[in-house]
Structure 1
Amino acid sequence: MSDKASCSGGDVRSLHVEDDTAKMGKHQEDEEKEEEKRDEEKEEEKEKEDEEKHDDKVIEVGDYSNMEAPSSLKTLCRYVETTLLPEDKILQFTIDKEVFGGERDTFLLPEDITQFAGMLEIGATVLAVYMRYLHDVLKQANMCSMVGFIDPATVSANSGTLADRSRLVAARLQKTDGEQIFMMPYNPGANRETVYFLDPLPGHRVVDEEAKNIVNSAIKIYNSHIGRAGRKAVIWKTLSGTPKQPSSVECGYYVMRFMRDIINDPSLGFENKYAKGNQEASYPQEAIDEVRNEWAEFVCQIIKQGNN
């Protein structure tokens, strides 16, 4: 009996274990399914949130009535929303060779315009478009022989080797009579043999070494090309009396305003104006908006000409 009972007892324990294992397996399977379902629900919820965020973003971008920007810039943003984005287009036009010494095609992306409208950081293309506008201002004032421009895209940090960029600057200088003041916006990440360094960032600033090497080499190449001995060393003058930008974002806007202010003074007395040695206050927003308005009106004019 004891053997039978023992055997029987063993069978029962075995059945219980198998039964428990089956139950545990089923329970685990149910839990996995439940977890899978929860993950799917979370994923769906996240997708829904992303869609809602995207919808909110679109509404926000399209709400130009509350945007703090000149009316011409709001008009341009509406053009981005109603035409460029729906039709997957960009703005393309040609900058004449008189501006930078060689003809170049320019491509304005929708984000170039919306970033400019939002007072976000801007790049070389936006600056080049404004320089094209300023070239017209110079022509009207008969000042093209006094002031010239160097394409910011040819000297920017990722535009080739230092030697390549120096040669491009030298080539630009060779297409002039040597008496012009040149404006060369440079972003690290005027050019006779005195180079004026205008930097709107606060504090005691020194000239970026790469920019200095590019210009020094370019002037050396230029002097060699025209057979002039030139100075032993290029003179660099830091003009510390420029208005100071409130943060690191406004660089492009301040550079645009500097160029505008220099050109609007026929005497080109910017050295005395900015060499006070005292840190000037920031530009008021109205002064920056003047530049933004001129830029937007010029781009609107290009669009209008393209549609005719």
Structure 2
Amino acid sequence: MSRIDITDINIGLKIDGSPNIGSQQGSCSKGGLENVLELTAVKKKLDLNESPRGEDAENNFQEVDDEEKNKDKEKDVAELKSSGEEKGVEYLVVEDKDVEVAEENEGILWELAIGTPTNIVAHATVDFVTAVLHGKPLGGDNVRVSITRVIQGAAEIPFPIDDEIITVDQAVGTFIAWPKNMLLEVKANSDRVKSRAVKGGKKNGPRKMKKVNDLVSEPEPVAFKLSEEAFGSSDKKCLFKSDISAVCFGGEISGTVICMFINILQENLRKHKMTDMISFVDPAKIGALGCGTPAARSRALALRFKSAKPSQVFLLPYHHTNHWALTVVNPDAQMVYHLDPLKRRIANEEWIEVVNNGIKIYKEDVKRFLKKKINWENLAGVPAQIGTTDCGLFVMLYMREICIDKELKFASKWARRSNLVFDSDDLNEIRSAWAKYFMRQHAS
């Protein structure tokens, strides 16, 4: 499986380096996969919905002359395109040619990992399309999987289902959620719809109107390492095509996208000699879903705070119930700032407990004086998000604004409600910076 080719994504940078995207006031911007295949017609046809098998398949092929074939083709295309336009569905024509067409994710196996990409606990098939599991949204960082082979049966799955399905063994036979960055493709089945030779040396191939998304499978993810200077570790992350599309064309931003942006910010902090002032925490270790118990998340924070320099602040992108917010922590001063793109006060008592306990454990471990109270301040003056799925981009904007201020006056700047805004140009600037970094590091 080849790596993600940047041309597949159609990022579309302008000459000046900014993405070729307009203002995205809404959340459902469309773009990307159009006119994916152009295949040459010949005289035979095969229905993909009833693919012939074995020797009897030869008898199912019917000869048609050019005139009849062209008439049938024009009629079918006109009817299906008309139907697709009425339903708002993109279609393409897959015409006769010596070509392989794989049904969506058919025969593709993935490794499921827990904790680190090398800790494989099972093999599974993955559904990249369905966004809901058991009536609940999966979120942009997760996918629906079905386990096909157990490797570590006693391992606890990232998202237990009530008290019944907790381990890998118990998850066999049902669908469960799994983090995208803990998937690795291991096998692609070659048993696809193939062309067949017939008398006269002519070949038969599939001819059928298919949805674009039914013919485009998720390619191999792009792996990159976290900046150890920024995160305190060099863990590996996996970036999917859907992540890149979300940045460029609109959609839910994943924690992996935010981590890559933090790598960019760290380069700027190093350039301006601000690394002792600001550091970061991996959102995959502190989020509300799939990141362990509140106690485990508090311990992860305490471990990260151990490297704190005097007066250094830590930026914590936090994901909860399909929404991103930013928490800024000064562990030595026991000050915590809450920045929500929806300008809401924090209502999640569990998150407050996780952060407070992280600070307490850190103070005890380094034997420093612990004040009686840990202060939380809601920064209500932050610019509010524009669309319904822009919260991730706005968290990235907040982090950028904090990182370019050498005096770290973000608390006084955003302490009170104001008319400050980030517009579409600001969002496109973030997209452009992210796209340039991605292409510099990974484009082939």
TM-score, with length taken from structure 1:
0.70
Segments of 5+ residues of structure 2 without an aligned counterpart are 1-48, 51-75, 94-215, 322-327
- 379, 385, 399: which is aligned to 1:259? 399
Q: Which has the higher strand share?
A: 2
Q: Determine if the alignment matches structure 1 residue 195 to structure 2 residue 336.
A: yes
Q: Does 1:270 align with 2:410?
A: yes
2-structure distance, mates of 1:283, 1:221: 37
1:249 counterpart SS class: coil
Q: Is 2:254 the counterpart of 1:107?
A: no
Question: What is the number of residues matched between the two proteins?
Answer: 233
Q: Which amino acid aligns with 1:122?
A: I
1:146 counterpart (239, 258, 277): 277
Q: SS at the partner of 2:91?
A: helix
Asked if the contact 2:277/2:309 (under 8 Å) is kept, the reply is: no
Aligned to 2:247: 116
| Structure 1 residue matching 2:318: 3-state secondary structure | coil
Q: For structure 1, which runs of at least 5 residues remain unmatched after alignment?
A: 1-42, 58-84
Q: CA deviation at 1:54?
A: 4.9
Does the CA-based 8 Å contact 2:301-2:358 persist in structure 1?
yes
Whichever structure has more helix as a proportion of its residues is 1
User: What RMSD in Å do the two structures reach over aligned CA positions?
Assistant: 2.6
Q: Distance in 2 between matches of 1:56 and 1:265?
A: 50
Q: Aligned partners of 1:224 and 1:241: how far apart in 2? A: 34
Separation in 2 of the partners of 1:208 and 1:182? 20
Q: Indicate conservation of the 8 Å contact 2:219/2:241, yes or no.
A: no
1:205 offset after TM fit, Å? 2.2
Alignment of 1:124-135 (within 5 A): 124-135=255-266
Measured in 1, the distance between the counterparts of 2:229 and 2:377 equals: 28
Secondary structure class of the residue paired with 1:186: strand
Higher radius of gyration, 1 or 2 = 1
- Aligned positions of 1:27-38 closer than 5 A: none
* 1:160 matches 2:292: yes
The CA distance in 2 between the partners of 1:178 and 1:150, in whole Å, is 17
Opposite residue 300 of structure 1, the aligned amino acid is M
SS where residue 257 of structure 2 aligns?
helix
1:242 paired residue among 369, 382, 385? 382
Alignment match, 2:225: 94
2:437 equivalent in structure 1: 298
Q: Distance in 1 between matches of 2:218 and 2:381?
A: 46
Q: Using the alignment, how far apart are the partners of 1:87 and 1:122 within structure 2?
A: 17
Give the letter aligned to residue 301 of structure 1: R
Q: Paired residue for 1:175?
A: 307
Change (3 A) 1:220 1:50: farther
Tell me by how many angstroms 1:88 deviates. Answer: 2.6
> Once the 2 structures are TM-superposed, how far is the Cα of residue 230 of structure 1 from its aligned partner?
1.4
Q: CA deviation at 1:229?
A: 2.4
Percentage of matched positions with identical amino acids: 31
TM-score (norm 2): 0.49
Report the residue type matching 1:55 in the other structure.
Y
* Deviates most, 249-258 or 93-102: 93-102
